[in-house]
Amino acid sequence: MALPEPLLDTAKLLEQLRELGAIGHDAAQGGRIRIALTDEEKAGRDLLVRWMRELDLEVRVDQIGNIFGVLHAEHPEGMAQPLMMGSHIDTVRNAGALDGCYGVLAGLAVVRAYRQAGLRPARAIVVAAFSNEEGVRYQPDMMGSLVYAGGMDVQAALHTVGTDGTRLGDELARIGYAGDMLPGAIVPREYIELHIEQGPVLEAEGKSIGVVESLQGISWQKITINGVANHAGTTPTRLRHDAGYAAAACVAFLREQVVAAAPDTTLATVGSLRVEPDLINVIPRKATFTVDLRDPDEQRLQAAERRLADFLVTLAEREGVTIETEQLVRFEPVVFDAALAARIQAAAERRGLPHRRMTSGAGHDAQMLARIAPSAMIFVPSRGGISHNPREHTHDDQLALGAQVLLDVVQDCLRGQ
């Protein structure tokens, strides 16, 4: 007698995306705000844990607050090499409802399909929600998965002080998610992350599925320029030590020289810029700004960093200012597991879904899990390429197709043992 096939309950997945998306809703500005380890994110965590328990999953929480829902295998030895899916549920400010949450809740949808079919997998299935992926309150971003993969000491992470002066470990305990499981205690045989693209490529090309085979390297720096404040009307240009001008020159250099050296791959962004004393008629004495450099090739990323560093030396001498740099985040590019990417492509082809191989421009928990397990990602289109924004949107049918491909890949992996 043939065993029943696990079938997705798409309506339930969409319902849960809406319900989780309502937590932290900002009526004034739109979107939702569930910054890591705030009361709003605790409410999201509580809801996720409730849904995991409704599926009779074993819920585990590790020392950095990562949440795992475990569907145990048919036989005890199936826990030795579990299959893991996941992402995160924390947000940036005024975020959309899908970034991160889709991957976690689609993982629950896969588990629900097994439960409703009365099936036990050959190997355990684990749904993960990693802590502090966005890095808004505590840096670095992707902290939960970074700690889990051994890239950051858990005690160092717990002692991290946030932008609001709070200590991460204290906030984790306050919201009730300071678990006792050692990070990395569950070692997956493979990790699969389903995500909206957060970019325009799939929509522009009419593709339903992105087979993500690599992920860009990321370099974040904070740059502080100290000059001399003076009267805007009485100080000749040749005698100025203008921190604001020096910052603007750096911004222009990033676009005109650093990006221009590899325009198809290198990206540079100044996302935060502050000047002091911030007065219309005073030459700025200080400018502080961030630089986000990205490239899928490590050598090109290093070249971009060197060009910026050399320019800062020249700029400081030319303008008579002092410049300090602080490395905030540095992650090398990641190449995902070729066999797992091939399974994703094959699943899309079996369903006749137009697809393409691609590189992710954003960072994801998958890049950290790739340190300890074969990993890959599945993308679905983002309307207008918009993300980190209340207007973030993917059509329901596209969300359903992505979840179906995820289920197909999970079944294929488990059949292959």
For every residue of the chain, which 3-state class applies, written as one string?
CCCCCCCCCHHHHHHHHHHHHCCCECCCCCCECCCCCCHHHHHHHHHHHHHHHHCCCEEEEECCCCEEEEECCCCHHHHCCCEEEEECCCCCCCECCCCCHHHHHHHHHHHHHHHHCCCCCCCCEEEEECCCCCCCCCCCCCHHHHHHCCCCCHHHHHCCECCCCCEHHHHHHHCCCCCCECCCCCCCCEEEEEEECCCCHHHHHCCCEEEEEEECEEEEEEEEEECCCEECCCCCHHHCCCHHHHHHHHHHHHHHHHHHHCCCCCEEECCCEEEECCCCCEECCEEEEEEEEEECCHHHHHHHHHHHHHHHHHHHHHHCCEEEEEEEEEECCEECCHHHHHHHHHHHHHCCCCEEEEEECCCCHHHHHCCCCCEEEEEECCHHHCCCCCCCCCCHHHHHHHHHHHHHHHHHHHHHC
Which CATH architecture best describes the domain 10-215+333-415? 3-Layer(aba) Sandwich (3.40)
Percent of the chain with pLDDT over 90: 93
Task: Give per-residue pLDDT as tens, 340-374.
Answer: 999 999 999 999 999 999 999 899 999 999 999 99
Is 388 labelled as part of a ligand binding site?
Answer: yes
CATH topology of domain 217-331: Alpha-Beta Plaits (3.30.70)
Tell me if 88 is assigned to a ligand binding site.
yes
Q: Is the pLDDT of residue 1 over 90?
A: no
Known binding residue 305? Answer is: no
Tens digit of each residue's pLDDT (9 = 90 or more) over 62-103: 999 999 999 999 887 767 899 999 999 999 999 999 999 999
pTM: 0.90
What confidence tier does 27 reach under pLDDT thresholds 50, 70, 90?
Answer: confident
Enumerate the domain spans of the chain: 10-215+333-415, 217-331
Domains 10-215+333-415 and 217-331 belong to one CATH topology? no
Is 25 annotated to bind a ligand? Reply is no
